[in-house]
Chain A
Amino acid sequence: MNISALFKPNREATHYPGFGAVGILFFSFLYFPILVIITYSFNSNRIVSVWQGFSWKWYASALQNEGLLNALQVSFTVALFATLIATAIATAAALVLSRGKNVKHAKLSQAVVNLPLMLPEIVFAVAILILFSQLGIQNGMLKLILAHSAFCIPFAFLPIRARLQGMDNNLEQAAQDLYATPLVTFRRITLPLIAPGIFAGAMLSFVISMDDFITSNIVSGGGATTLPVYIFSLVKQGVSPELNAISTLIMVASLLIATPCWLIAKRSR
């Protein structure tokens, strides 16, 4: 008798009847709407749901839409700064919480860092709106950058801390034993070894910031509108074929950015 067969998991999901059908249904449900958007973005008809013929014109008009380009630039700038700020703070927090000796209230601090993940975003958004008005901050861009930096911190924090915890802390002691000052130890040992975590955290922050709607919408007064907020305002005016083209463009851009990131992350593992 083949003993090893006894140890094989005998309840693999693929063995259940109907697995294939359910799978197809699931993926259709997930991707069919996207497929529709992509298809109809090439529709020459002004009425979205009636197919007339193939055309690039909505792409042309989207790329000439000043409001859209403006919003894209705002989103990109905010995401860039928010990512830098959040990643720097998250790295510092992760270092203290996983390497610091005798850190008081380490558990509590960690919970506080992660709290924005648990909190409903609307609560966070309202709170930050009140804070800004109390502080008298008017500049729309500044408000967006500060707010985004705040809610991106836990997203940057988690992968960095995971990387630090997986790293042998004898390595840092070995470096100090070999006459490296704490600063050099960080630069030569810790940083290169947690770089994949920092990279993952930064990517996550960037994507979360680009994608954010609730907070951006609430704090956006002051002349700065992000892409999701701008798109939402278009939707309110009714779904136009141009919107389909914009959505398709964003999707393509995301894929172009995400693929190399994914490849890098995979290689560094």
Chain B
Amino acid sequence: MKHAINIKNVSKYYGDYRAIKDISFDIRDNEFFTLLGPSGCGKTTLLRMIAGFEIPSGGVIKLHGTDIQALPAHKRCVNTVFQNYALFPHMNVAQNIGFGLEMLKWSEENIAARVDEMLELVHMRPFAARMPAALSGGQQQRIALARALAPKPEVLLLDEPLSALDLKLRQSMRDELQQLQRDTGITFIFVTHDQEEALAMSDRICVLAEGEVQQLSSPNEIYENPINKFVADFIGETNFMAVTIGAVNSATAAITNPLGIQLNVPNAGYRPGQEATMSLRPEKISINTQGLEVNLQGEIVHRTYMGGYTHYKVRTANGIELRVSKRNTISNDTEYQLQQRVDIGFSKTSVRVLCQ
């Protein structure tokens, strides 16, 4: 597999503070790659090192196999969509989009044609002569995108480009960005702290925390098989329960759990007596449904109606509160009432046991 970016043992110190801790991973060609993590985990720092605005304290970054350590920012075939867009306020939309091409010494006709193409791509043709200050946030965002895409970079870096937009616009821009990435075939490195955004758009997600890679996988894998408690907690909602590993044989391990159910999971190198955490997603639990492997009795103690679905908290017989979410598939579907006694059930394969 060809790689757009190789990051090898990269670390970054700000003074004594270690913002990036010896990170290594590869980004494939033509993929929509997302860096996801909480605020301050080092996403922007990593992006700035790829763009050339920050020099790694150690390690190597390669762009299509070439070490770019010695290249200044203006010589890297990498373009950035800045978090605050950074449109040049004294140039109109067309001049902004054409700036990179002008710097690359494209001919005037070619610049005009490419700018036109870009305006078409982001549906902004009527705005070519506007100044950036006279554009809405969403429009500025499109222009920033067009400006960064115009020089056909090998890699496009996007630092939380949607965070300044309202919810509706953000959702439609998600689809547009994804479509744009497929149409252009350019590698996108997208930074966000919004897990929904990451799941919706990415080919692969790299979850970062405190300057370290926690997990790097497809969205589905990250959501369904989180590697540790941090990832399970950060992406989506879940029920955590402290558990202990019981009897272990070569294939399976018994899990002693506070729900008091018989549970065996594939043995992933567990030791008997080991402390661990069990994770069970709210949507994997059903209410009053027949034919599930595990069935428990409980009582509804909390209910939050969300429109498309309803969140419940159910207290089981042994006093554990489980979050359960139920899709409202039929209008005026049965709403369970507070204090109502219900049966809840789930499949054993929905349970994840996390050791860290």
The answer to whether A177 touches B99, judged by C-beta atoms less than 8 angstroms apart, is no
Most buried by B among A168, A184, A193: A168
The answer to whether B99 touches A175, judged by C-beta atoms less than 8 angstroms apart, is yes
Check A177/B84 contact, CB under 8 A, given A184-B103, A193-B89. Answer: no
The answer to whether B90 touches A193, judged by C-beta atoms less than 8 angstroms apart, is yes
Interface size class of B (residues with CB under 8 A): 20 to 34
Instruction: Tell me which residues across on chain A come within 8 A of B82, comparing CB atoms.
Output: 170, 173-174
- Bound-state CA distance A168–B88 (Å) is 10
List 12 additional contacts besides A178-B103, A178-B151, A192-B90; criterion CB under 8 Å.
Answer: A171-B89, A174-B86, A176-B52, A176-B73, A176-B74, A177-B53, A177-B74, A178-B100, A178-B147, A179-B74, A180-B74, A180-B103
20 pairs, A vs B, C-beta closer than 8 Å: A170-B86, A171-B88, A173-B82, A173-B86, A174-B87, A175-B88, A176-B53, A176-B73, A177-B51, A177-B53, A177-B74, A177-B79, A178-B151, A180-B99, A181-B74, A182-B74, A185-B74, A192-B90, A193-B89, A193-B90
The answer to whether B151 touches A179, judged by C-beta atoms less than 8 angstroms apart, is yes
The answer to whether B88 touches A179, judged by C-beta atoms less than 8 angstroms apart, is no
Produce 1/0 per residue, A177-206, CB < 8 A to B. 111111011001100110000000000000
Instruction: Give residues in A with beta carbon < 8 Å to B.
Output: 168, 170-171, 173-182, 184-185, 188-189, 192-193
Instruction: Tell me which residues across on chain B come within 8 A of A168, comparing CB atoms.
Output: 84, 86
Q: Which of B72, B79, B89, B90 contacts A178 (CB 8 A)?
A: B79
| Contact residues, B73-116 vs A (CB, 8 A) | 73-75, 78-80, 82, 84, 86-90, 99-100, 103-104
Instruction: Tell me which residues across on chain B come within 8 A of A178, comparing CB atoms.
Output: 74, 79, 99-100, 103, 147-148, 151
CB distance from B55 to the nearest CB of A (A): 10
CB distance from A99 to the nearest CB of B (A): 13
CB distance from B95 to the nearest CB of A (A): 10
Most buried by B among A177, A179, A180: A177
